[in-house]
Structure 1
Amino acid sequence: MTAWRDAKKAAAKYGVFDDLTANDVMFVFAISHGECSYCGEVTDDYQLEHIVPLSKGGKNTLSNVTCVCKTCNRSKFNHDLLTWQDRSDRPDDFEILTTIERMATRRGVHIEVIFEELKEQAREHK
């Protein structure tokens, strides 16, 4: 519930679209089995992560959240996913395709749609 409340507050702060429910957050945490979506580490200290940061116009929706470890969450901070992928402080075993596939599945679109959106975001925020 804390992760959900924090996400709602952040969405209001940035004025972004918000339809994330507490059930959505519980679903994301349940299907992750404590495994970080970015590096694969299993931890009991996982966090809710906005793949496209709210501060960069990301939405507070099921398709834009995932479960990550504290290390990845701090490393990514408010970077867009593609820019963070190229950073040296991200985990070596980071696999972007899995994250993009998960976003596409949740939105019911092809992965190319998500990849194009992420590329556009990276261009806008350089």
Structure 2
Amino acid sequence: MPAARTRRARAARKRQRRMAGVEHDLSADEWAGLQEAWGGCAYCGASGAALQKDCVLPISRGGRYTVLNVVPACASCNASKCNDEVTGWLRRKRLDERAFLTRLAEVHAGL
């Protein structure tokens, strides 16, 4: 068990360094607007559950918390997607990739 704690601690430190090295500019008002625009999880459509900020382009791949890169996701989708590329992940999960990309463009156009 100590090895697992060490790995988690190392991963947490690595994430902190990545987060500190990137400028994030998503405001609380923008986040509230995104949640309202999507009306639930951007990936599976689940509503009523607490939503988390998920980067379409993960921070580990050069993304950051901006209004054009963040979508609301349920905990299950956010954990499952991890740092995968969004379209490949949607295909693997057999979710509607076209519907997601169309809705993403609509939400961005409405901002």
Please tell me the TM-score bracket, short chain as reference. Answer: 0.5 to 0.7
CA contact (8 A) 1:63 1:107 kept: no
Whether 1:69 and 2:95 are equivalent positions in the alignment is: no
Shift of residue 14, structure 1, vs aligned partner: 5.8
| Structure 2 residue aligned with 1:45 | 50
Counting aligned pairs with the same residue, the percent is: 29
Q: Which structure 2 segments of 5+ residues have no match? A: 1-14
Letter in 1 for 2:22: V
Gaps of 5+ in 1: 1-8, 109-126
Partner in structure 2 of residue 30 of structure 1 = 36
Map Cα deviations across residues 14-72 of structure 1 (whole Å, 9 max, x no partner).
Answer: 62342211111111112233x21111122322211111111111132111111111111
Q: Which amino acid aligns with 1:85?
A: L
SS at match of 1:63: coil
Query: Cα distance 1:19–1:96, how it changes in 2: closer, same or farther (>3 A)?
Result: same
Asked whether the equivalents of residues 51 and 75 of structure 2 are also in contact (C-alpha less than 8 Å), the reply is yes
Contact 2:18–2:59 (Cα < 8 Å) also in 1 = no
**In structure 1, what is the Cα distance between the partners aligned to 2:44 and 2:100?**
11
SS of alignment partner, residue 39 of structure 1: coil
Give the TM-score taking structure 1 as reference length.
0.61
Give the conservation status (yes or no) of the 8 Å contact 2:18–2:60: no
The match for 2:91 is: 86
